[in-house]
Structure 1
Amino acid sequence: MGHVGLYRLVCLSAWFILKAAAESMVITPSKLVVKYGDAASATCSTTEQKHGGMGWEASEGGVDIVEGVQQVTWAVPNITHWDLKPICYMISENVEQLVKELNIVIYKLPDSIDVKKCSEPLNEGETCTLQCDIKSVAPVKNLQVMWYKQQVVLENVTFNENTMSPVEKHLNRSIQASRNDDGAEYWCEAKLELGPEGPQPPPTKKSEPRRITVHYKPRFANDTETIEAGNTTLNCTVKANPPPVYTWEAPHLDETFYGPTLSVTYPGNYKCTASNQRGNATKLFIVKPYPNTVFLVCLLIGIFVALVLIAAVIFTHWKRKQGRAANNSIPSPADQKEEDVESYELA
């Protein structure tokens, strides 16, 4: 037990010595994000005044040990290794060798990204699967894939993988076709989220949009419409795919009419049927009799004349009544004569 404890103590002490010495080594930049094939460089410096030399160990751009310097630079004209892990090392007076690894992320946008659409045309209500194929992208742990419908994000997919070299990804997206999907465009977009040290905005690549064709039957928002007769055009236009065929029927029509509109003059019920390969829909137009303007005018004039005559009769009756009241208040000649005789006798 004593030997084991002593061994652990020695190892722990060595770890602290290495850690303290490694902190005297600084790599600038602390994190390097570089596109595959581009140039890259980093500088390793130390505060140690006395050491046995510094250098870089790397599969590309390695630097042999250099004595009497405080910094040494690693540089490559273009990165071609995916497993690149540059390590700065220094021979110290206290320990045999100190090392510090450069935090480097090598990225690459996909060679191609494409969406395979479903067999078309789709019928309303059917389910189909779109496939997004992404070829040769890295690193996959920084990859985000967005599914779009028009300009709306449907799904955001991320990956929990540590593979640094390029990979292929195939993502599926199920959709249930509706009439609103007819003519809609779907696409997928790959984005590499590389953090603040990476390019801003994050590099992206998107597929060509795929337009979806959906077949659906006609459907009226209102299946009945009431209007007044006259020189009126009935409009039966409705959305459907394939475009519908229109037929018009009415009890008083001698034949069937075709087309989305129908000009009518007479009242009645007109039935329009819109149909295509997916089904049909019917709309009823109720054309009410148009009011008779001449009759209304004559009726109003008659009412006005009647009111005037009634007013005239009432006025005449009132005048006669006033006249009789006035006559009753004036004395007659006989009464006047008697009144004069009485006045004379009194005198």
Structure 2
Amino acid sequence: MMGYITLSGGLFLTAQLLALLVMTEAGQNCTGKEPLIVPPALVVKYGDPATATCRVPYNAMMGWETPEGAKQEDNVRQLVWSVDRVTDWSLNGTISCYAVSDHGQCQTCLPIRMYKAPDNVILSFINHTGPLLEGKNYSLQCEVQSVAPVKNLTVIWFRGGDELQRSGCPEFTIEGDQSQNVTVSTNLSITASRKDHNTSYSCAAQLDLNTAEPVPVTRSDNILLEVLYKPAVESSMEDVSLTEGDRLELNCTADANPTSAFEWKHDNKTLGNNNSTLVLESVEMDSAGVYECVASNDQGQVSVTMTLTIRRNYLPWIVAVLVVVALVLLAVFFGSYCTYHKKNKTGAYILAKFKGGNSQNGQVAHTNGNTV
């Protein structure tokens, strides 16, 4: 690319019609003899080089009428206009090439559109610094520095990677001569919400010149929002019914900035627990009642409640009764056994040792007075 852009057929319709205008002198007709300029129109970036060639099908004295790079030569059929660096805004409009011959003076105009990409695009808050407060209104300002032409400028607003809206020339505040590069500013109003916390905003400047290759978009740095907001409880606590001795665990999580502090209450009495989780390893009958979790920060507070009901656990009592009954039955059985044994097995046993006798074991047992 040589520092200029050839326009498509639909660009600068008025200028191209002007380019077809043939100038005549002394009543001479230039139809079919007018200079031909290649390219027929130019879009030039500020500071870039520019060039165009003017041709006629006959020898003539040819020249370029232009605020910069004007020249003239005799007896030629083409003449090149060239500028190393386009910085003169007076070129923004039209320049012309003329040819003087026996046919008279014929002239063709070359439309030139100069543009300048922004030096910088700056995004900032108007009259505010620091964190935002949820529910409050704020204004963001996008400033586009040293850009032209302003009527072809669009400012695009982004939230993260999503486009929010576009602003055009009627919404701009413009500083400078609009025939040259100017500084433009436009505003965006937002209402801070917790969804904006840690979300970035940015803006971009886009010049739409209908060129074959679009002018690159210039984008601002991101602004990362910090929004302060009161807690919102994320976990629900439903009413619970437990049996005496069961374990109770209640969770109370909250979305907040700054981070929430927690307080637990039982029947409006504060418990000694400042965590987001409340645990009772073994509930008792007096554990029943209403439990409340209060989440708070310097932006406000919110609370959530649940009701705990306790069913008495009769199993230990049943076990105790069964144990007592078993012990009583065992005692009765043992007593009955002893009584029966005494009645049927009671006797006197006498052991005697004979020094001589016929008994094989040397012992005689007497039971109830009888010798065995």
Q: TM-score, normalised by structure 1?
A: 0.70
SS at match of 1:208: coil
- Structure 2 residue corresponding to 1:88, chosen from 64, 78, 97: 97
Q: Which moved more, 1:38-47 or 1:246-255?
A: 246-255
**Residue 67 of structure 2 is aligned to residue 59 of structure 1:** yes
Q: Which moved more, 1:86-95 or 1:164-173?
A: 86-95
- Structure 2 residue corresponding to 1:185, chosen from 200, 203, 216: 200
- Structure 1 residue corresponding to 2:217, chosen from 199, 204, 207: 204
In structure 1, the partner of 2:82 is 75
Q: How does 1:276-295 map to 2 (within 5 A)?
A: 276-287=297-308, 289=310
In structure 1, the partner of 2:54 is 44
In structure 1, the partner of 2:275 is 259
1: distance between equivalents of 2:132 and 2:89? 44
SS at match of 1:219: strand
Query: In proportion to residue count, which structure has more strand?
Result: 2
In structure 2, the partner of 1:271 is 292
Instruction: After TM superposition, give the deviation of residue 22 of structure 1 in Å.
Output: 7.7
Q: Which moved more, 1:209-218 or 1:86-95?
A: 86-95
Residue 213 and residue 109 in structure 1: after superposition, are their counterparts in 2 closer, same or farther (change >3 A)?
same
1:123–1:215 CA contact under 8 A, matched in 2: yes
1: distance between equivalents of 2:180 and 2:33? 30
Residue 158 and residue 148 in structure 1: after superposition, are their counterparts in 2 closer, same or farther (change >3 A)?
same
Instruction: After TM superposition, give the deviation of residue 289 of structure 1 in Å.
Output: 4.9
Instruction: After TM superposition, give the deviation of residue 46 of structure 1 in Å.
Output: 2.5
For structure 1, the residue ranges without an aligned partner over 5 or more in a row are 1-12, 299-347
Instruction: After TM superposition, give the deviation of residue 144 of structure 1 in Å.
Output: 1.1
In structure 1, the partner of 2:158 is 148
Instruction: After TM superposition, give the deviation of residue 137 of structure 1 in Å.
Output: 0.7
Residue 228 and residue 78 in structure 1: after superposition, are their counterparts in 2 closer, same or farther (change >3 A)?
farther
**Residue 107 of structure 2 is aligned to residue 99 of structure 1:** yes
Residue 294 and residue 136 in structure 1: after superposition, are their counterparts in 2 closer, same or farther (change >3 A)?
same
In structure 2, the partner of 1:322 is none
- Structure 2 residue corresponding to 1:133, chosen from 137, 143, 156: 143
Q: How does 1:152-191 map to 2 (within 5 A)?
A: 152-159=162-169, 163-191=178-206
Render the CA deviation track for 1:252-302: whole Å, top value 9, x for unaligned.
98833101122234364321000111211111134455897989xx9xxxx
Query: In proportion to residue count, which structure has more helix?
Result: 1
Q: Percent same amino acid at aligned positions?
A: 32
Q: How does 1:289-308 map to 2 (within 5 A)?
A: 289=310
SS at match of 1:141: helix
2:158–2:202 CA contact under 8 A, matched in 1: yes
**Residue 130 of structure 2 is aligned to residue 120 of structure 1:** yes
The letter of the residue matching 1:32 is L
RMSD of aligned alpha carbons:
3.2
SS at match of 2:256: coil
Residue 101 and residue 293 in structure 1: after superposition, are their counterparts in 2 closer, same or farther (change >3 A)?
farther
In structure 2, the partner of 1:109 is 117
Residue 75 and residue 235 in structure 1: after superposition, are their counterparts in 2 closer, same or farther (change >3 A)?
same
The letter of the residue matching 2:129 is S
Q: TM-score, normalised by structure 2?
A: 0.65
SS at match of 2:195: helix
Q: How many residues align?
A: 277
Instruction: After TM superposition, give the deviation of residue 99 of structure 1 in Å.
Output: 2.3
Residue 41 and residue 250 in structure 1: after superposition, are their counterparts in 2 closer, same or farther (change >3 A)?
same
Render the CA deviation track for 1:125-148: whole Å, top value 9, x for unaligned.
111111111111111122111111
Q: Which moved more, 1:155-164 or 1:106-115?
A: 155-164
Residue 44 and residue 252 in structure 1: after superposition, are their counterparts in 2 closer, same or farther (change >3 A)?
closer
1: distance between equivalents of 2:280 and 2:32? 94
SS at match of 1:257: coil
